[in-house]
């Protein structure tokens, strides 16, 4: 008997990549509404948690949590664009 793993929403491509691209195209920081709109319109699949861990290992990073997209985007943005980040 196998134990069923919880399913985790997983963005393809990663949500953080989509947000970086959108911000580059815009040329200025994304607003909260823009981040949430991108999240809501992006392709997301449900994967078992073990597959999400494997995907993160192959990517070399964890994606941001879609339930806390705005908050996690602010953290990621500060790490990826330290000179542009305004707290």
- Cβ–Cβ < 8 Å for 41, 6: no
Measuring CA to CA, which residue among 74, 73, 71 is closest to residue 18?
A: 73
Predicted pLDDT at 64: 94
DSSP per residue, 57-85: HHHTSPPPPGGGHHHHHHHHHHHH-TTT-
pLDDT tens per residue across span 2-52: 578 899 999 999 999 999 999 999 999 999 999 999 999 999 999 999 999
Predicted pLDDT at 4: 86
């Amino acid at each position: 008997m196998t134990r069923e793993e919880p399913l985790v929403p997983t963005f393809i491509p990663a949500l953080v990549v989509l947000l970086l691209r959108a911000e580059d195209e815009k040329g200025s920081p994304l607003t909260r509404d823009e981040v949430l709109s991108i999240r809501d319109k992006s392709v997301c699949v449900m994967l078992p948690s073990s597959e999400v861990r494997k995907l993160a290992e192959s990517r070399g990073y964890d994606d941001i949590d879609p339930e806390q997209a705005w908050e996690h985007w602010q953290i990621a943005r500060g790490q990826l664009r330290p000179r542009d980040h305004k707290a």
